[in-house]
């Protein structure tokens, strides 16, 4: 017989009985219609930013072996790809360039006839409304594979107070500013500095404003970690460092509080939008940045995340479609407003077919 607990006057027999619970959360999971009605987080093609790799040449569409379905494309192959992306209602692309030749200072990146300015113009010709984001870094363009000027004996920038091979911060800022102005002049809507160079947002803002590009936005990779998940990207962008690694400027994966410090600096310098990279191993960082700052926030589902889901799917270990969408909704649930993802076209089609 049920005996009421005097300390719980509202408790009933039905609430305490294992056989007949009054509170049944499963009522709201009974049908697909009810589940859609109470869904807390939604995913849409308008959330996606699609990365594209562009190289010199003609009629080039070269598969990237470690990233199924991804390609390096020549500029003349971009219009068809942009039309496909636009038809899927994906609003933005993020451009990475592979230059014809590389040098110590990555000069193709700030050439008006460089690969990215040509790509931007080609995209804007066919889809003026497409948001074109230029990834602003030098690792793809330098012969050494690092994200700016490195300290080299005999070079004009050599600093004897720093170790040889160290990435020189302030000379790199100067080049980032030059390249940003060139890309904005070609029609890029957004510049996305990704090298984790101290002061990069302030330097780019000054360079852009000083050249009449006050309305060009800056989407800063404010918290970018020295991650092991970038391996396939380095194949795609042909940008592995020729010596050492990038731990001297990208963040230690063990650090969370430091991420908020980095974001605070970029916000103070005038960032319009923020990026956390990678995404899935750093959802705690995405969540913390979302709670702390009101700026639009993107998370980058990087090449290693993409490749391992594909590999597991190809082996029959997971349902690729289900797990890819689950990973994307998890990134959105953590607080990202936008997701940079190689799954963008597939995910847009999957979402459309599920309606």
Rounded Cα distance, 38 and 339, in Å? 23
H helix or E strand, kind and range, residue 80: helix 78-87
Catalytic-labelled residue, pool 8, 124, 224, 261 = 224
CB-CB contact of 279 with 300 (8 Å): yes
Cα–Cα dist 47/325, whole Å: 12
Of 102, 124, 261, 277, the active-site residue reads: 277
* Beta-sheet pairing, 71-74 with 61-63: antiparallel
Q: Which of 123, 67, 68 is nearest to 95 (CA)?
A: 123
CA 49 to chain centre: 8
Does the annotation mark 277 as catalytic? yes
User: CA distances (Å), 153 to each of 160, 164, 165, 248, 249, in order?
Assistant: 8, 7, 9, 19, 20
Q: Is 8 a catalytic residue?
A: no
Helix 257-269 crosses helix 283-292 at what angle (to 10 degrees)?
Answer: 50
* Residues annotated catalytic, as ranges: 224, 277
């Amino acid at each position: 017989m049920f005996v009421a607990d005097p300390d719980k006057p509202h408790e009933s027999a039905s609430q305490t009985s294992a056989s007949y619970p009054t509170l049944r959360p499963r009522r709201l999971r009974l049908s697909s219609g009810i589940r859609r009605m109470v869904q807390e987080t939604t995913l849409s093609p308008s959330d996606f930013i699609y990365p594209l790799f562009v190289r010199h040449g003609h009629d080039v569409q070269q598969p990237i072996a470690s990233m199924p379905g991804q390609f390096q494309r020549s500029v003349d192959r971009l219009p068809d790809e942009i039309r496909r992306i636009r038809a899927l209602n994906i609003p933005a692309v993020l451009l990475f360039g592979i230059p014809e030749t590389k040098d110590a200072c990555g000069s193709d990146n700030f050439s008006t006839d460089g690969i990215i300015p040509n790509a931007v113009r080609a995209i804007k010709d066919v889809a003026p409304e497409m948001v074109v984001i230029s990834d602003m870094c030098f690792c793809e363009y330098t012969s050494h594979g690092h994200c700016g000027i490195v300290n080299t004996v005999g070079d004009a920038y050599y600093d004897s107070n720093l170790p040889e091979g160290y990435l020189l911060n302030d000379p790199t800022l100067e080049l980032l500013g030059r390249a940003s102005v060139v890309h904005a002049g070609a029609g890029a809507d957004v510049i996305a500095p990704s090298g984790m160079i101290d002061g990069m947002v302030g330097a780019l803002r000054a360079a852009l404003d000083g050249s009449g590009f006050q309305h060009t936005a800056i989407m800063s990779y404010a918290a970018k970690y020295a991650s092991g998940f970038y391996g396939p990207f380095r194949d795609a962008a042909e940008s592995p460092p020729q010596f050492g690694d990038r731990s001297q400027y990208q963040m230690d994966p063990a650090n969370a509080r430091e991420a908020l410090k980095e974001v605070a600096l970029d916000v103070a310098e005038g960032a319009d939008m923020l990026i956390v990279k990678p995404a899935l191993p750093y959802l705690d960082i995405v969540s913390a940045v979302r709670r702390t700052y009101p700026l639009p926030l993107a998370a980058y589902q990087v090449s290693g995340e993409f490749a391992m889901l594909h590999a597991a799917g190809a082996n029959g270990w997971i349902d690729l479609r289900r797990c890819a969408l689950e990973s994307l909704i998890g990134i959105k649930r953590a607080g990202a407003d936008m997701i940079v993802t190689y799954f963008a076209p597939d995910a847009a089609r999957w979402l459309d077919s599920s309606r």
